[in-house]
Amino acid sequence: MSLELKKESKSIVAEKAYAFALLVISIYKELKTENEFILSRQILRSGTSIGANVNEAISAESKKDFVHKLSISLKEARETKYWLNLLKDSNFIHQEMYNKSNKKCEELIKILSSIILTTKQRYLNNS
């Protein structure tokens, strides 16, 4: 795989994570207007951390470091999914916002899982 292709595939997940972070920020702002400060900070932290860790992975020092950073992103995405479910079930966010954000979160989880698995199979299981 060429370096150019690797950068392109990484930027796709980075772009999706960035767009998701913007969505999470809008949820955070909405929750603050409803005087909900604890859960809003939790989802803001985990939801924006996904993209930050993806960007760290892009500059990883090794394949092992790359997988490690993406694994942190995956954990943050799963945590964000937990907060989204909690916010929905406690009626802090409406169903439409939940559906939109949960769909994007699940998409990130699938992409990150796939990249991690593929990288492990290609580069780490052979060493």
25 occurs within a structural domain: yes
Q: How far apart are CA 127 and CA 110, in angstroms?
A: 25
Q: How far apart are CA 54 and CA 60, in angstroms?
A: 10
**Residue 85 CB contacts under 8 Å (≥ 6 apart), including other chains:** 102
Predicted confidence (pLDDT) per residue in 77-93, tens digit: 999 999 999 999 999 99
With a cut of 70, say whether residue 43 has pLDDT above it. yes
pLDDT of residue 9: 47
What confidence tier does 97 reach under pLDDT thresholds 50, 70, 90? very high
5 occurs within a structural domain: no
7 occurs within a structural domain: no
85 occurs within a structural domain: yes
pLDDT of residue 126: 63
What confidence tier does 37 reach under pLDDT thresholds 50, 70, 90? very high
What confidence tier does 11 reach under pLDDT thresholds 50, 70, 90? confident
* Other Cβ atoms closer than 10 A to 27: 23
As a whole number, mean pLDDT of residues 17-38 equals: 97
64 occurs within a structural domain: yes
Answer whether 66's CB lies under 8 Å from 103's CB.
no
pTM for the model:
0.89
95 occurs within a structural domain: yes
Work out how many domains the chain is built from and give that number.
1
Q: Which DSSP symbol is given to 124?
A: I
8 occurs within a structural domain: no
As a whole number, mean pLDDT of residues 55-66 equals: 95
117 occurs within a structural domain: yes
Domain span at residue 113? Answer: 13-125
CATH number of the CATH domain containing 97 = 1.20.1440.60
What confidence tier does 127 reach under pLDDT thresholds 50, 70, 90? low
